[in-house]
Structure 1
Amino acid sequence: MNNSRLSRRGFLRGASGATLGLAIGGGALVSGCTSINVAAGSEGGDLLQRLRDSGTVRMGFANERPFGFINSAGDLTGEAPEVGKEVFRRLGVDSFEPKLADFSSLIPGLKAGLFDVIAAGMYITPDRCAEIEFTNPDYNAPAALLLPKGNPKGLSDLDSIVRKRARIGVLTGSVEEGYAADSGIPRSRVVVFPDQSSGIDGVLAGRADCLMLTRLSLTSALQQRPGAQLEIGPSFIPVVKGEKQFGAGGFGFRKGETNIVRAFNRELTIMQERGEILKLTKPFGFSQDEMTRLTAADLCAGTAS
């Protein structure tokens, strides 16, 4: 399976301190590890009990705002880590060890046992579900386009990019790169950037007519660029070959660890019903619009609507 299509984002920037357990070179390291089956001999897996016994969970993340990153104080934070920390506390685990990885290395790293959970807001897709166990999503983020001020080409979604023969900017290894290809946009009009910052620079310099990411990512990125002559277009759900592509993210565990997934989902549902997910994620730009009750089962089966 093509690992570039397994990742929601394919970049790593801003690594710091002791969290460099999986640095940029770690992509090769992770992919070279032998996959292990830690759930062997225990139906449904024993990860939850082992985490309770140790008191610590190793959280894999990719340093992408607002989903999971290291803040100025050197602490792991963001949408997924903060939701994950609260769920794990309720499950009896109170200590959190950040494990930094390139996004495309998160699934191989999890399977190799380098961390216990992926806490990076990873989109739930059928391809990924074949590789790992997913919890239900805790958010569903619509996409948007970053555009030059005034939107001179009148772009609004993938269909408009196709019709107007525009150049779309995407991040390497991202689902947006796959969406562009599957929408029939010629490779010559797909401009691939290594990270958010270079993508923004590319639109500013006219190398691409737009940059496609989630609205959350674009809003967060533009906050670091005050005064930039750019704007964000309307939110939209990408439609590829007639099917909606939901940007719904959850937490990933190794195959077979269904016990902890069920326990995690139980606490997650309670938090959703009480509005606690929104309270935890609002500081990172999330709103009621991103709250969701989609299920991993439907997303994995491709039947979400």
Structure 2
Amino acid sequence: MKIRLSYIAAGLSLAVALAAFQAYAGELTDRIASGKSIRIGFANEEPFAFPDSNGHPVGFVNAITLGVLKQMGYENVETVVTDWGGLIPGLQSGRFDMATGGLYILKSRCQSVTFSEPLAKVTDALIVKAGNPKGLHNYADIAAKGATMVTGIGYSNIEQAKKAGVPEAQIMQVPGQTEILAAVEAGRADAGASGYLLSRSVAGKSGGKLDVTDPDAMPESTQNWVSIAFRESDKDFVEKFNEAQKKYIGTPEMMKAVEPYGYDAKLLPNDKSAEWVCANR
């Protein structure tokens, strides 16, 4: 009888432990345990994250993500390319498990997703006609001069511009960087707004027709931290991801992987945490 009771007690303990694990494990942990791939979602946003000619994930955010996952022992990765505005909805609906598209950590986004610790710090800049004929250097200039600004749907630049007094009627929203470039080149917008790296990449495709403004002319509030978004139910995986990222970020291996995309030591996130950025951006 004692032996039977001990077996029952052990069985109950195992059942309780298993139930606790199942209650804690998120969707991504369950997906990996079942042998399925980790699906990363991103838009065509150079140099953050974009598909190469073969559809493979490239860009510095994807390079860091793949490096961290490899450190964790995960290399079974599937890519899902979407438009910028579909990143968070696609994550929430289960189309993919991680949004690696170069999302800034923002208080408004922190209410919908869970961010990993920052992997880069970037600043906004403007794309303008060569020579900057209207003298636009920041959002305050756009507001004061009644200029028209173009940016991507869902970009954080919309919030920043409104904070600086730019009325919604002066903000044109388009799907992504190709459309930003076209709008400024055609004169439909006086300035295109995005992060400095993205602005530099876009202007570089204009054949000298466009310039990028000095990011130091932007207010401190436009400093943003790039991160990877996860579903709120996957916080268990995010904790493990953060541990691996802390060991990987800034290493010679990582810096070599991101060098082709213009990422250098100036973009390292330093000591700001996702919690701090969520509260202050």
Provide Cα deviations, 1:209-268, integer angstroms capped at 9, x if missing partner: 21111111122223333x2321111014854xxx71432111111113222111111111
Gap change, CA 1:143 and 1:134, over 3 Å in 2: same
Give the unaligned 5+ runs of structure 1. Answer: 1-38
- CA distance in 2: counterparts of 1:194 and 1:147, whole angstroms: 19
Provide Cα deviations, 1:138-186, integer angstroms capped at 9, x if missing partner: 1111111111111122221112222333222222332212222232213
Within a 5 Å distance, the mapping from 1:114-125 to structure 2 comes to: 114-125=95-106
Q: 2:157 aligned with 1:179, yes or no? A: no
Gap change, CA 1:119 and 1:172, over 3 Å in 2: closer
Residues 124 and 296 in structure 1, CA contact (< 8 A), matched pair in contact too: yes
Letter in 1 for 2:111: A
Which of the residues 170, 179, 188 maps onto 1:198? 179
Letter in 2 for 1:270: K
Within a 5 Å distance, the mapping from 1:1-305 to structure 2 comes to: 41-43=22-24, 45=26, 47-48=28-29, 50-51=31-32, 54=35, 56-225=37-206, 227-236=207-216, 239=219, 244-293=221-270, 294-302=272-280
- CA distance in 2: counterparts of 1:46 and 1:249, whole angstroms: 23
- CA distance in 2: counterparts of 1:163 and 1:51, whole angstroms: 52
Residues 81 and 119 in structure 1, CA contact (< 8 A), matched pair in contact too: yes
Letter in 1 for 2:246: T
- CA distance in 1: counterparts of 2:276 and 2:27, whole angstroms: 25
- CA distance in 2: counterparts of 1:96 and 1:237, whole angstroms: 40
Letter in 2 for 1:162: A
Gap change, CA 1:298 and 1:51, over 3 Å in 2: same
Give the unaligned 5+ runs of structure 2. Answer: 1-19
Between the two proteins, the alignment pairs up a number of residues equal to 261
Higher relative helix content: 2
- SS of residue in 1 equivalent to 2:160: helix
- CA distance in 2: counterparts of 1:74 and 1:194, whole angstroms: 20
- CA distance in 1: counterparts of 2:167 and 2:27, whole angstroms: 47
Residues 84 and 153 in structure 2, CA contact (< 8 A), matched pair in contact too: no
- CA distance in 2: counterparts of 1:151 and 1:55, whole angstroms: 51
When normalised by structure 1's length, the TM-score is 0.77
Residues 147 and 233 in structure 1, CA contact (< 8 A), matched pair in contact too: yes
Q: CA deviation at 1:84?
A: 1.0
CA RMSD of aligned residues (A): 2.4
Identity %: 29
- CA distance in 2: counterparts of 1:229 and 1:297, whole angstroms: 40
Larger Rg: 2
Kindly report structure 1 stretches of 4+ aligned residues shifted beyond 6 Å: none
Letter in 1 for 2:67: E
Higher deviation after alignment, 74-83 or 194-203: 194-203
Residues 40 and 78 in structure 2, CA contact (< 8 A), matched pair in contact too: yes
- SS of residue in 2 equivalent to 1:72: coil
Residues 123 and 222 in structure 2, CA contact (< 8 A), matched pair in contact too: no
Provide Cα deviations, 1:253-299, integer angstroms capped at 9, x if missing partner: 11132221111111111122535443222211222221112211111
